[in-house]
Structure 1
Amino acid sequence: MNQDYIKPDNWSIIEEGFDINKVKSSESLFSIGNGAMGQRANFEEHYSGPTFQGSYIAGVYYPDKTRVGWWKNGYPEYFAKVLNAPNWIGINVSIDGEALDLFNCLKIENFRRELNMKEGWLSRSFKATLQNQTQINVETKRFLSLDIDEIGAIEYHVTPLNKDAEIQFYPYLDSGITNEDTNWDDKFWDVLTVEHDDNQAFIMSRTMKTHFYVCTSMQTYLSLNGTILNQDKIVEERDNYIEFQYQNKVIKGDTLTLTKFGGYTVDRNHDKKELCSVAKRTLNEVSKLGFHALLDLQKNSWAKIWEMADITIEGDVKAQQGIRFNIFQLNQTYLGKDAQLNIGPKGFTGEKYGGSTYWDTEAYCIPFYLATKDQKVARNLLEYRYRHLDRAIENAQKLGFKNGAALYPMVTMNGEECHNEWEITFEEIHRNGAIAFAIYNYHRYTGDYSYIPEKGLEVLIGIARFWHQRATFSTLRNQYVILGVTGPNEYENNVNNNFYTNYVAKWCIDYAVENIERIEAEYPSDFIRIMNKVKLSKAELSQWKAVADNLYFPFSEEHNIYLQQDGFLDKELITVADLDQSQRPINQKWSWDRILRSPYIKQADTLQGFYLFEDHFTTEELERHFDFYEPFTVHESSLSPCVHSIQAAKLGRMEQAYTFYLRTSRLDLDDYNHEVHEGLHITSMAGTWMSIVEGFGGMRIKNGVLSFSPKIPKQWKTFSFKINFRNQILKVNVCQNETHFELDGTAALNILVNDKLVTIHPNSLVTV
């Protein structure tokens, strides 16, 4: 059973009623972030029930020593942990001497939590009867500022309902934090100083090993019925903790409010000696503004994001809520402001998967950022990999490759591999292909070729060298083969000739050669500079071509399809439809041995190749492969339903496309894989966007021309989206019988609609 406690709503994620069994799931679902930091939706006040405390700072990590049973040459030395940061949101509350703790209240009524995606804030309200019989009403609101991204703000209101009450607030900073997923129970933070000044407090700390310096800060003030109080306080200070204590007698029906500003100032952005003084200035700035003026700025900033990124769906609230949740979380995770950052698979919502960057960024996220932001954002994501090229070459050297061959890491924070499962670290090498494909995709979409001669070609050469060396000549087949790999389907390890891996290897070599020839002809000075640097000879190029031109792809004449890998047909081919549902998800019910022997596919694998290289295959070929592989696919990867939704739409199977769309858009909201308590699937959310724009909208780039083949699920009246194509904003509105196009730009735009050329002029509506 999937969960279904989130109320359907166009613009908000809403939970009504308090259930201790849903606390961890809601902490994930109601997470907030601003690109620079983020946090799970933990309660501000103490909660003694099961909870997963989590606050995270972008780019701050710890290299936790790898923990494995035995060592293999080339193993990563560490697993980069996304670090749980000092907690600044804490506000313990005591009523008539008894701590407010929702796990221990006699009664909780009218509990409601809302994540307002339109305006970017989180609220919570409830009525509680404490063990001492005092009844209170509590309302909280908090947000992480997009405008001043080192700061978050909280308003915490308490109203005694059945009698006058003594209310104590204990706002605090706590640096005694541990990770849920530490390998060795290491201490990750050193606390350097704890200090306070008037209503401000600061903890200066430093990460062990990586030596990131962070100042965690807070400023607090009290008000009664909206009037600010000049309140005396007691300060309690410990080695890694500081707390202010406020005490007030409050008349029944009156409301006492604690306002708290807090956040992180980090030496990634400032001189480490200046961190506390910068934090002080920032707190002064926001306290002058006040909570509500800062919230107004927040609403305006989110309005600007939605103006470009929103997708509207009429007639299907759950579908609408799903896509907005995905777009909202992507923007909370990465806004493209900082070129040193990337998009972690869990964003700021949990610790699983460690490092900040997977191949998901290139394969799934770049299309979203290309179309909804300025193209500089996508270019920054490409440059992130260029800056890590030397490390990718080192990663390959550790595995025995030479001559500048580059293997990009499966997981990384700084370019080094930090994933420690051998079948993925050593074998899931198809990730190299996604990095090369992103360069192609960026040029195809933007028309900006400059990146390739400036930086991209060096990356393509390193990747091509890797594929050339990774292939083996089989005298038996008289062809090149690629042995011992894991494809995108991680339910198959150490296989030979995975179709997707082999296909992407051939394509990478061909694409590198094509760009070398173009740059030699059109950019001679760049060509000379690059060749002097990489020492590429004509002889080496011809060796590459020999591999690419004679690479083996397993094929079944009987089924007239490419095989996922050698031996796939040796399996007992029982489809998912014939699998006992009590055995799902198989990754939680079966031994790994049983999974590896089964035909079950975790995510699009052969079909991933048909997705990326769609124009290399006919629609009939896609249909044959889809009909063969989808029935064996369990979709237990978050990256699977979106690809299948796009392909089902292309094949005109709208009911199936719609089902896959709902699964990808509500993967976390409905907790399809029963793991949302660990955090959200941020990178697959970009796939949800693709399933509407590329799936139902049918958007493609054909020979530099924007092309659409719109389709609409019968459950929807209309859907609309905007894309920024080469600095012109096109709005597409798809109805059941027609599609409207509007252009916000200075020049006319030629597009293809169902393969017919249509010209759209600025500020005029075209209906097809």
Structure 2
Amino acid sequence: MKEHYKEDAWSIIEEGFHAEMQKSSESIFSLGNGRMGQRANFEEDYSGESLLGNYVGGVYYPDKTRVGWWKNGYPEYFAKVLNAANWIGIRVTANGELLDLATAKVSEFRRELNMKEGYLHRTFTAELPNGIKLKVDARRFLSMQVFEAGLIRYSVTPLNYSGEIEFGCYIDGDIKNEDSNYDEKFWAEVTRETGNDTSALIIRTKKLDFHVCTAQKIVLTKNGENQTFTSIATEKEKYVENLISVSATEGDEIVVYKYAANVSSLNHDKSELMNQAMQVVSRCSVDGFDEMLEDQKNAWAERWKMNDIVIEGDVAAQQAIRFNIFQLNQTYTGDDARLNIGPKGFTGEKYGGSTYWDTEAYCLPFYMLTAGQDVAKNLLLYRYRQLNKAIENGEKLGFKAGAALYPMVTMNGEECHNEWEITFEEIHRNGAIAYAIYNYIKHTGDSGYLMEGGLEVLLAISRFWSQRFNWSDHKKQYVMLGVTGPNEYENNVNNNWYTNYIARWTMQYTMECMEYCREDSGFWNEFIQKTSFVNDQELTQWRKIVDNVYEPRLEGSNIYLQQDGYLDKEDRLAEDLDPQERPINQHWSWDRILRSVFIKQADVLQGMYFFEDDFSEEVIRDNFNYYEPRTVHESSLSPCVHSVIASKLGMEEKAYEMYLRTARLDLDDYNHEADEGLHITSMAGTWIAVIEGFGGKRVHDGILSFDPVIPPQWDSYRFNLVYRNVIIRVGVSANGVSVKTESDGELEILIYGKSHRLTANNPINVER
């Protein structure tokens, strides 16, 4: 674990330049606005180790799959989140010497991600190899109000030099993805254009023909006064630059304002991209950096009103939760149903694709209860609109009659993940999508969504499960063979308990939803015709399966076995591992991992988290005490689930340990992989750990319930929810709980099991 960044309630702060940490810091200090994002690469040249990353939402590339042995059903491609044109570049040269932090002597380096106001600020002094000292102050942000705009204020002050300083403000589209399967460059040039203070580049993807125009407009000041200048325009393939030479005297502050835009064919006609991009940069330059930064601060202030979690008495915990919430808001804003939440967001290339089951299992609750019902529904509609592709995915594997297998990784609904044991065996993802529909309706009361597409999705998933189970003459029950559960340190197992359980639950829930929808005869008749649903035949088979699903158990105990054969492994505990061998996925062979008892993330416990009401506290406790000590938590999705369950069970120390692990996973780099990008989707799990774990938030029979606990390390904490259009503000201290709302109307809530009527201007206070 690395404790590199200074603890601060509202900022991530790095003091001192550490080249060995640069790639990790590029991830940590990433920026985004839901439509585009970038890693915290330097504006000036840097010849040290770095992962260049600029990303435009919804733009991707189908990189040809590279595998050793091809199997029927493999996807033809792996969808890559594209590294797009680098627009931040400002090449600085003084007396012929290039500013490069890999070759300069760097002092007074400080980098701050201001999460309260939404910008990145970096300062340093650099002594170039020729002895010239420059002081640099750089600020940048991606606008939360003009979603296609990025702005930079780059200040250079010569400390011991008078003479010419050159600024090469460029856009470089000649880039590649680090994870390209065949080292292919994915972009081709369409056109480019340069003027005295502007330049623009349009590039297109070689496949799928996405077009992106990246434009810049430059404004220059010296000691606060606007400067006129004549630039030297440079154009070459996929590259444009405005080179500006400035005469400076020692102590002069030269500021380059770079107003940039990324405009894509996802949102504009291709013939209008250049014009649209120029309009964006022109607007930004007229408004100016300071005014737009003020707008940025106001936009973030509005978001924090709803999203903030305040923790008193524990700065590390406070910083961590705000960092996670900040990155979630930078990744997805919910106003475009075509977009989703990638595991790395806009912070790195690993995993590719737009969405995993993480969205439904972990992210939906955060957006649903902070951004509201419409945003949550957009996440559901994303899957509904890709239902036909999910059915096609099922057909490729031999499933029939409208059975849908949603993809493990996707951009457009088509499966594009190429690891067999994940792509074709980790099918529990289907259940998470069904659970999301249930979870949405439970929290919003919007049962009407079933008739807007929800029931079609449930039917298609249940059809898949009904065909995926098979009857075992030996067990005299229905079994599911050859799967990978949430614990990816087990592949090709039989009867993963979680998969069997959520599959059965999905079929049962689908039948319940059908009973509700039958009441609307017009909808029901149309539904039967559209889906070719054969009522008696299909439901009879479903009921037979639901009543006879095999669940592996440890005889004479409350323990549900993770899968058949789990007890055949050498029984060891995670605490017995040599710390030098952790994480095991970076030190052990895959063969050794598969033969070990160790669990990557919650598996049986994932089911008990989802379906808590189906199990007694004793059963949950017994399973937690059995499985958590065997869990190495090498999935980012693991600690949050364990924290929630530990809170429920009154295991305060374990709940807090797991909370810090999930909340500071990237900041402290627990798994030594922050350089690859942040774990965006698990950040939603951090929020869940506070709200559902410590806050004890549940919904029972349509009634919102709280059973809060408070970690002994905290003096108090506060959080907000929007539940059925009512904004609720909850405060918890050692003395008790307070709940209030400014919303009109009334809402019944439970606090520690006792009913209260919540109304505006009448806060509820309950002593502990």
TM-score category of the 2 structures, normalised to the smaller one: over 0.9
SS at match of 1:93: strand
Partner of 1:727: 725
**Structure 1 residues 91-102: aligned runs within 5 Å:** 91-102=90-101
Partner of 1:717: 715
Partner of 1:129: 127
**CA contact 2:196–2:233 (8 Å) conserved in 1:** no
Q: After superposition, what is the alpha-carbon deviation per residue over 1:654-702, rounded to whole angstroms, capped at 9, x for unaligned?
A: 1110010000000000000000000000000000000000000000001
**CA contact 2:11–2:114 (8 Å) conserved in 1:** yes
**CA contact 1:454–1:526 (8 Å) conserved in 2:** no
CA distance in structure 1 between the partners assigned to 2:762 and 2:128 by the alignment:
62
> What value does the CA root-mean-square deviation take over the aligned residues?
0.7
CA distance in structure 2 between the partners assigned to 1:686 and 1:19 by the alignment:
29
CA distance in structure 2 between the partners assigned to 1:548 and 1:227 by the alignment:
75
Partner of 1:653: 651
1:641 aligns with 2:616: no
1:500 aligns with 2:498: yes
CA distance in structure 2 between the partners assigned to 1:542 and 1:111 by the alignment:
69
Partner of 2:159: 161
Q: After superposition, what is the alpha-carbon deviation per residue over 1:479-528, rounded to whole angstroms, capped at 9, x for unaligned?
A: 0000000000000000000000000000000001111111112x221111
Partner of 1:63: 62
Deviation at 1:211, TM superposition (A): 0.5
Partner of 2:389: 391
CA distance in structure 2 between the partners assigned to 1:729 and 1:375 by the alignment:
12
Match of 1:192 among 190, 193, 218: 190
**Structure 1 residues 441-460: aligned runs within 5 Å:** 441-460=439-458
SS at match of 1:556: coil
Partner of 2:429: 431
Deviation at 1:198, TM superposition (A): 3.5
CA distance in structure 2 between the partners assigned to 1:657 and 1:312 by the alignment:
18
SS at match of 1:405: coil
CA distance in structure 1 between the partners assigned to 2:452 and 2:292 by the alignment:
41
Deviation at 1:230, TM superposition (A): 0.7
Partner of 1:536: 533
Deviation at 1:453, TM superposition (A): 1.4
Deviation at 1:545, TM superposition (A): 1.2
**CA contact 2:261–2:280 (8 Å) conserved in 1:** no
Which amino acid is 1:525 matched to? G
Deviation at 1:441, TM superposition (A): 0.3
**Structure 1 residues 76-225: aligned runs within 5 Å:** 76-105=75-104, 107-225=105-223
Partner of 2:577: 579
Partner of 1:38: 37
SS at match of 1:192: strand
CA distance in structure 2 between the partners assigned to 1:708 and 1:589 by the alignment:
42
Q: After superposition, what is the alpha-carbon deviation per residue over 1:368-416, rounded to whole angstroms, capped at 9, x for unaligned?
A: 0011012100000000000000000000000000000000000000000
Partner of 1:525: 522
Partner of 1:15: 14
**Structure 1 residues 273-672: aligned runs within 5 Å:** 273-521=271-519, 523-537=520-534, 538-672=536-670
1:4 aligns with 2:25: no
**Unaligned stretches of 5+ residues in structure 1:** none
**Structure 1 residues 716-755: aligned runs within 5 Å:** 716-755=714-753
CA distance in structure 1 between the partners assigned to 2:107 and 2:184 by the alignment:
41
CA distance in structure 2 between the partners assigned to 1:231 and 1:187 by the alignment:
35
CA distance in structure 2 between the partners assigned to 1:667 and 1:50 by the alignment:
22
CA distance in structure 2 between the partners assigned to 1:228 and 1:739 by the alignment:
56
SS at match of 1:671: coil
Deviation at 1:560, TM superposition (A): 2.8
CA distance in structure 1 between the partners assigned to 2:714 and 2:383 by the alignment:
40
Deviation at 1:583, TM superposition (A): 1.3
SS at match of 2:741: strand
- The sequence identity of aligned pairs, in percent, is 58
Deviation at 1:199, TM superposition (A): 1.3
**CA contact 2:36–2:56 (8 Å) conserved in 1:** yes
Q: After superposition, what is the alpha-carbon deviation per residue over 1:100-125, rounded to whole angstroms, capped at 9, x for unaligned?
A: 001101x2111000000000000100
CA distance in structure 2 between the partners assigned to 1:29 and 1:454 by the alignment:
39
Partner of 1:250: 248
SS at match of 1:562: coil
Q: After superposition, what is the alpha-carbon deviation per residue over 1:704-751, rounded to whole angstroms, capped at 9, x for unaligned?
A: 000000000000000000000111100000001201111121112210
Q: After superposition, what is the alpha-carbon deviation per residue over 1:517-555, rounded to whole angstroms, capped at 9, x for unaligned?
A: 11112x221111111111112111111111111000001
SS at match of 2:524: helix
Partner of 1:756: 754
CA distance in structure 1 between the partners assigned to 2:101 and 2:594 by the alignment:
44
CA distance in structure 1 between the partners assigned to 2:581 and 2:376 by the alignment:
41
Deviation at 1:280, TM superposition (A): 1.1
SS at match of 1:722: strand
Please give the TM-score of this superposition, normalised by the length of structure 2: 0.99
Please give the TM-score of this superposition, normalised by the length of structure 1: 0.99
Deviation at 1:619, TM superposition (A): 0.6
CA distance in structure 1 between the partners assigned to 2:143 and 2:443 by the alignment:
32
**CA contact 2:261–2:281 (8 Å) conserved in 1:** no
**CA contact 1:97–1:166 (8 Å) conserved in 2:** no
CA distance in structure 1 between the partners assigned to 2:478 and 2:111 by the alignment:
58
Match of 1:226 among 224, 227, 233: 224
SS at match of 2:293: helix
Partner of 1:263: 261
**CA contact 2:196–2:230 (8 Å) conserved in 1:** no
Higher mean Cα deviation, 197-206 or 636-645? 197-206
**CA contact 2:484–2:493 (8 Å) conserved in 1:** yes
Deviation at 1:197, TM superposition (A): 2.9
Higher mean Cα deviation, 249-258 or 556-565? 556-565
Deviation at 1:340, TM superposition (A): 0.3
Deviation at 1:200, TM superposition (A): 1.2
**CA contact 1:86–1:174 (8 Å) conserved in 2:** yes
**CA contact 2:195–2:233 (8 Å) conserved in 1:** no
**CA contact 1:751–1:760 (8 Å) conserved in 2:** yes
Deviation at 1:263, TM superposition (A): 2.3
Deviation at 1:559, TM superposition (A): 3.5
Partner of 1:73: 72
Runs of 4+ aligned residues of structure 1 deviating over 3 Å after TM superposition are none
Which amino acid is 1:591 matched to? S
CA distance in structure 2 between the partners assigned to 1:247 and 1:454 by the alignment:
60
SS at match of 1:495: coil
CA distance in structure 1 between the partners assigned to 2:745 and 2:530 by the alignment:
41
Deviation at 1:75, TM superposition (A): 0.8
Q: After superposition, what is the alpha-carbon deviation per residue over 1:125-155, rounded to whole angstroms, capped at 9, x for unaligned?
A: 0011111111111000000001111110001
SS at match of 1:436: helix
Which amino acid is 2:181 matched to? N
Deviation at 1:248, TM superposition (A): 1.4
SS at match of 2:624: helix
SS at match of 2:259: strand
Q: After superposition, what is the alpha-carbon deviation per residue over 1:219-261, rounded to whole angstroms, capped at 9, x for unaligned?
A: 1121001111011111111111111111112111110010001
CA distance in structure 1 between the partners assigned to 2:435 and 2:744 by the alignment:
31
SS at match of 1:432: helix
